[in-house]
Amino acid sequence: MGLLGSSLEVLKTLKPVSLTLQRSRKRMACPIKPPLCVKGMTEWQPELLNTSVLIPCLNIPQENIGAARKFIEKFTLKMFNLRPVQESRMEDRKITLLNPELVCKFSDLSEVEEPLKGLNVVNEHFAIKMFELTVANWTPQDILKAILPDDDETVAGFSIIGHIIHLNLKEQLLPYKSVIGQVLLLNKNIRTVVNKSQTIDNTFRNFAMDILAGDDDFLVSVKENGCSFNFDFSKVYWNPRLSSEHERIVKLLDANSLLLDACAGVGPFSVPAGRKCRVLANDLNPESFKWLKENCEKDKRAKKKYSMFQLGCKGIH
């Protein structure tokens, strides 16, 4: 059986994989919302997120902070880049910030009033103080929820490939694409945000991308299933949501196996398989083939197990 035919037999074992964007895990909403003036923003103006807010707090003896927080944990303010315990003007005490959605006066802490009293925290130690917030105090998800129209689905999921965030925005969100890009750049280690601008319809299975924000840099290094892969994301096909399928197939192989990978791409099947068995890997795309060779040859222990080809269907016999 030829290389392509044998590979198709292997591919028949693949389970269907949904390419739908994954929704982010459900999380607790931020108790303090960004200013209403950012709603509908189509030009990124981070200064509009600067605001002053009143936050309830308790002045707690410094030596009792740990004990007190056990009682008031559910009332404590949890907000991005805002320390829940801060310095106080009261000597030998520190301020613990409280959730304004749950507490606006000391009596709202009635269920823990007695243990707090035992820690020398009473009504006179309750205060409401002004704090300055900026764009740094909300997560990108909180900011996008505040900006995008309420009746539109927010940016609930995306792919991260190295330093790149890859989106597939729905048409109704395209007017906000520039702002979405700038907001997503706030994510740690992200330098480029792109949107898929058309379907995969060419021979090499890559697609045009619209840079929404950040660097025009598509050279990435990613890790999957214990292996590292280098490639130019704009010129090859890579889908991080297939990692579990790559892992599943490789687990089926042993030292007596032979993997025939007809459309190997940059090697997500072939590279980890080469640590276990002989691999014949092929891809027509010259860019994919270049990175396939580099990714396979990086592992000197498995290097001799790979044979790589750049052939189309007519070249396979």
Torsion of CA 111, 112, 114, 115, to 10 degrees: 150
Read off the pLDDT of residues 34-57 as tens digits, 9 standing for 90 and up. 999 999 999 999 999 999 999 999
Q: What is the fold of 51-133?
A: Alpha-Beta Plaits (3.30.70)
Q: Is the pLDDT of residue 11 over 90?
A: no
Please report the pLDDT score of residue 156 as a whole number: 66
Tell me what pLDDT residue 158 has: 86
Q: What is the homologous superfamily of the domain 37-44+153-215 according to CATH?
A: Met-10+ protein-like domains (3.30.300.110)
Q: Which amino acid is at 314?
A: K
Q: How much is the pLDDT for 22?
A: 35
**Residue 5, pLDDT score:** 36
Q: Look over the chain and give the mean of its residue pLDDT values, rounded to a whole number.
A: 86
For residue 289 the two structure tokens come to: 């083939």
CA distance 108 to 105: 6
Mean pLDDT of 227-238: 94
Instruction: Choose from 29-33, 123-127, 296-300 the range with maximum mean pLDDT.
Output: 123-127
pLDDT of 189 strictly over 90: yes
Domain 3-19+220-315 has CATH 3.40.50.150: yes
Task: Tell whether the model's pLDDT for residue 6 goes beyond 80.
Answer: no
| pLDDT of 220 over the 50 cut | yes
For the cut 70, the answer to whether the pLDDT of residue 202 exceeds it is no
pLDDT at 1 exceeding the cut of 50: no
**Which residue ranges make up each domain of the chain?**
3-19+220-315, 37-44+153-215, 51-133
Question: Which residue bears the tokens 């060419």?
Answer: 202
Averaged pLDDT, 205-212: 79
Q: Do domains 3-19+220-315 and 51-133 have the same CATH topology?
A: no
